Structure 1
Amino acid sequence: MTNSSKVDSSDKSDSAPLATEKLGEEKTERREIKGGIPYTVAPGVLKKALESIIVAERPDKFGANYMATILKLTGGAAKAVPPFLKKMQFIGADGTPTLLYSRFKTDGGRSQAAYDGLKNAFGELFRRNEYIHRSDENGVKDTIVEITGLKKNDPIVRLMYLSFDAVRSFVSGEVSKQPEMIKQEPEFEGAIEKTETKKPGADLGIGLSYQINIVLPETENIAVFNAIFKSLRDNLLR
Structure 2
Amino acid sequence: MAINLPYMVSSGTLTKILNKICDASIPENFNGDFLGTKLGFPGGNQKTFIPWAKKCKLLGEDGTPTQLYKDFRNPKYRGVSMASALKKGYEELYVRNEYAHDLSRPDFLKLVTDTTGLAHDNSTVKAIVSSFFNAKEFADFESTLSNEEKSNQIESRTESNSNEKGSDTIHKNVTKKHIDLGINYTINLVLPKTDDPAIYNAIFKSLKENLLNE
**1:62 aligned to 14, 18, 30, which one?**
30
Give unmatched runs, 5+ long, in structure 1: 1-32, 181-225
Which structure is larger by alpha-carbon Rg, 1 or 2?
Answer: 2
Q: Which moved more, 1:64-73 or 1:171-180?
A: 171-180
* Structure 2 equivalent of residue 223 of structure 1: none
For 1:126 and 1:78, locate their aligned partners in 2 and report how far apart those are by CA, in whole Å. Answer: 26
The alignment's TM-score, normalised by the length of structure 1, stands at 0.59
Match among 84, 94, 105 for residue 62 of structure 2: 94
1:110 matched to 2:78? The reply is yes
The correspondence for 2:99, drawn from 123, 131, 151, is 131
Q: Distance in 2 between matches of 1:136 and 1:151?
A: 18
Matched, 1:44 2:17: no
The alignment covers a number of residue pairs equal to 156
State the identity as a percent. Answer: 30
C-alpha distance in 1 between matches for 2:34 and 2:147: 28
Question: Residue 131 of structure 2 aligns with which residue?
Answer: 163
Structure holding more helix per residue = 2
C-alpha change, 1:178 and 1:92, in structure 2 (3 Å) is farther
Q: 2-side partners of 1:87 and 1:47: how far apart?
A: 17
- CA-based RMSD: 2.7
TM-score, structure 2 normalization: 0.65
* Contact 1:63–1:95 (8 Å) recurs in 2: yes
Deviations 1:132-182 (A, max 9, x none): 1111101110101111222212222211101111211111361325999xx
Kindly state the Cα deviation for residue 48 of structure 1 after the two structures are TM-superposed: 1.4
Instruction: Tell me how far apart the structure 2 counterparts of residues 155 and 82 of structure 1 sit (CA, whole Å).
Output: 20
Larger relative CO (CA 8 A, sep 6+): 1 or 2?
Answer: 2
**Any conservation in 2 of the 1:35–1:124 contact (CA below 8 Å)?**
no
Give, in whole Å, the separation in 1 of the partners of 2:99 and 2:143.
Answer: 11
Moved over 4 A (4+): 177-180
